Structure 1
Amino acid sequence: MENAAETLVKVFYAVVAFGILIFFHELGHFLMAKLMGVKVLTFALGFATKLLKVKVGETEYAVCAVPLGGYVKMLGEDYEDEIPPEDLPRAFSSQSVWRRFLIVFAGPAFNLLLAVGVVSSLHLGEVPFIPPRVQEVLEGSPAAEAGLKQGDEILEVDGRPIKRFQDLREKIIESDGADLQLSVLREGSRLKLVVTPRLKMELSPYGDEIRLWQIGIVPVGEIRFERFGPLEALAQGFQWTWEKSWFTVKTLGRLLTGRESIKNIGSPLLIGAEAAKQAEHGLASYFSFIAFVSVILAVMNLLPIPVLDGSHLLFFLVEAVTGRPMSKKFLGAAQYVGIAILVCIMAWALYRDLDRFYWKAKQAEKPAISEEAPQAPAQDTRP
């Protein structure tokens, strides 16, 4: 049972993670609006009651009670706003469709840039890694069936070079069971092998069923180091962010087509708990997790669900093609539909998280099973 201090530390790490994610998203909207000359009325982290606020120039900066979002309020953002004639050129609604598009798109873009920056920073200097060399091939595994042997080093997967065992693991996970073409170095010779990952279902610490694609190998315990300069580190950041973005898109596709269970959806509660858990493994793991969630938020915000940035971008594109904005009546109705969709998703995610934490708590209450052999009953010595 954790004490109050441990709980506070976990809450701290969770709140900081949300703060970073929200801040960068809203910062994108804010900076692009300023760049376009739009008057920004409020820059807020969180929702509901403003706990702290200060006005600098024409903008009020605030920290609100509920740290699960944020907003940038611009003049003329709501088409029903009354705008003084002298401020009309600086109203959001007065901007061209492409300028409005850029202001809205900047939010998700900054989430992606956050991921690039974090991952690039983690790659600066000497980075340790485990090479994709095989220590053991499990009997009866896909790797054994494909002909992999102890000592083999995997150089390429589907024609793409890999250097780390983690790269191989990610390729296997993302394969979704499709054949993988391997280029293998064995005793100085290169071989071509084909391996088909096998699905294994496991339980997460929260009781969720996790789909794991595996080929059945154990890597060597060797640690190698690779040095990255600033440009190489930046390239790694962009590559990682692109791969995680595409992985998120594919995961959403599996959810929509039923190939991924909607039971795996989580709310901010799960994100906060996982952020605190990653912090226990060190700052590198913590910020890597923040980078991954930042990518997910960027992709999610680009979905064309009313209220999210993606719907605004879609409406702007329609306006650019048709030459006229969407009607206020349509936008109002879409707003209500979007809110209803998001409330349903959040309610389901919250229910799933409460169920997860209840399951985990029940598991913790179970008595530990001793691994000692049971004692033989005492011999009856009665006459």
Structure 2
Amino acid sequence: FGPRLVGKKIGETDYFISMIPLGGYVKLLGESSDDELSNDDEKRSFLKQHALKKIGIVAAGPLFNFLFAIIVFAIIYMIGIPVLTSEIGSVQDGSPAFRGGIKKGDVILAINKKDVSIWAELAGIIVNSEGKELQITINRDNKIKDLRLKAELVQSKNIFGEEIDSYKLGISASSNTIIERLNPFEAFWAGIGQTWYITKITLISVVKMVEGKLSPKTLGGPILIAQMAGARVQEGVMPFVFFMALLSINLGIINLLPIPILDGRHLLFF
């Protein structure tokens, strides 16, 4: 925004930096009905294009934000990410796991004869067990044992701080991790899944903020974003890259909102 400071024209496109470098934008030929154009320019101006073409042009920016995130996540998954193993770190007193004989240091090998090796796998099975009996195969001091127990409904808080009921055994993971690497095809789909998950969580957060169930402070602002980016750089390259993908998703969502000056407002009227 503001007066032009520096730039360069390549072909028919003028690239430049303004005095107030807050965000970025593209001014298209004939985007405003007040623009004075020659007959030739008017025919290829933005406002003269078919509605679907205009939608494609305007949506390209936000869609690239999502594509960037997918590619970044895919690269991260191919390089490898640390994931918690299925080793038990602690057992809550009086919990189903405690009563069923599970001990700290046990390694869960399978649940209902389905092999598991990372914590996310076994946690998903337990949460979706609906209180049904589980056959849990463990490795304890190089001895294989089968235990049978049922998860119980426990009240906990979700990522939005809301009280929810979920099935738990009363176990937590140890700090042991392994590096999980995916092939390019798996990594690409995992990148799509991660991007969709973050998009969904962000949209739910916006809705809850509008409903007054979530403080606007939780969404942060430019200063908070800069602070978080600086912190991620200090933590290492991978956390910083992950944060950039996360930020790209949020920018894509914000740009699609039907707010004046944003792409979402233009899409609403095409």
Q: TM-score range by the shorter chain?
A: 0.7 to 0.9
| Cα 1:163–1:95 shift into 2, 3 Å | farther
Letter in 2 for 1:59: T
Q: Partners of 2:99 and 2:17 in 1: how far apart?
A: 58
SS in 2 for 1:70: coil
SS in 1 for 2:59: helix
Equivalent of 1:198 in 156, 180, 189: 156
Q: Partners of 1:162 and 1:64 in 2: how far apart?
A: 54
Matches within 5 A, 1:280-299: 280-299=234-253
Alignment correspondent of 1:353: none
Alignment correspondent of 1:87: 41
Show structure 1 runs of 5+ residues with no match: 1-46, 172-178, 202-209, 317-383
Letter in 2 for 1:312: H
1:167 deviates by: 7.9
CA contact (8 A) 1:181 1:192 kept: no
| Cα 1:88–1:65 shift into 2, 3 Å | same
Q: Partners of 2:90 and 2:99 in 1: how far apart?
A: 14
CA contact (8 A) 2:59 2:263 kept: yes
Letter in 1 for 2:260: P
1:265 deviates by: 3.2
CA contact (8 A) 1:146 1:195 kept: no
Q: Are 1:135 and 2:82 an aligned pair?
A: no
Letter in 1 for 2:228: E
Q: Partners of 2:188 and 2:197 in 1: how far apart?
A: 14
Matches within 5 A, 1:264-279: 264-279=218-233
1:52 deviates by: 2.0
1:64 deviates by: 2.8
- The one-character-per-residue Cα deviations of 1:167-223 (angstroms, maximum 9, x if unpaired) are 889x8xxxxxxx94257844346765244352399xxxxxxxx84889775422322
- The one-character-per-residue Cα deviations of 1:307-345 (angstroms, maximum 9, x if unpaired) are 2212221211xxxxxxxxxxxxxxxxxxxxxxxxxxxxx
Matches within 5 A, 1:312-327: 312-316=266-270
CA contact (8 A) 2:6 2:18 kept: yes
| Cα 1:277–1:309 shift into 2, 3 Å | same
Q: Partners of 1:117 and 1:49 in 2: how far apart?
A: 35
Alignment correspondent of 1:61: 15
RMSD (Å), alpha carbons: 3.6
Alignment correspondent of 2:141: none
Alignment correspondent of 1:73: 27
Matches within 5 A, 1:166-315: 180-182=127-129, 185-187=136-138, 188=146, 193-199=151-157, 211=161, 217-315=171-269
SS in 2 for 1:67: coil
CA contact (8 A) 1:142 1:195 kept: no
SS in 2 for 1:104: helix
Letter in 1 for 2:222: P
| Cα 1:311–1:220 shift into 2, 3 Å | same
Per mean C-alpha deviation after superposition, the further-off stretch among 302-311 and 109-118 is 302-311
1:134 deviates by: 2.8
| Cα 1:185–1:302 shift into 2, 3 Å | farther
Aligned length: 250
Q: Partners of 1:314 and 1:155 in 2: how far apart?
A: 51
- The one-character-per-residue Cα deviations of 1:214-269 (angstroms, maximum 9, x if unpaired) are 97754223222333221121111111111111111111121122221223231111
1:127 deviates by: 3.6
Letter in 2 for 1:267: G
Q: Partners of 1:154 and 1:194 in 2: how far apart?
A: 21
Alignment correspondent of 1:320: none
SS in 2 for 1:48: coil
CA contact (8 A) 2:199 2:253 kept: yes
CA contact (8 A) 1:184 1:193 kept: no
1:287 deviates by: 0.8
TM-score (norm: length of structure 1): 0.56
Equivalent of 1:112 in 46, 55, 66: 66
Letter in 2 for 1:240: Q
CA contact (8 A) 2:100 2:147 kept: no
Equivalent of 1:96 in 50, 59, 71: 50
SS in 1 for 2:85: coil
Show structure 2 runs of 5+ residues with no match: 139-145
Q: Partners of 2:260 and 2:220 in 1: how far apart?
A: 21
Per mean C-alpha deviation after superposition, the further-off stretch among 253-262 and 287-296 is 253-262
Q: Partners of 1:162 and 1:298 in 2: how far apart?
A: 36
1:86 deviates by: 1.1
Q: Partners of 1:128 and 1:61 in 2: how far apart?
A: 41
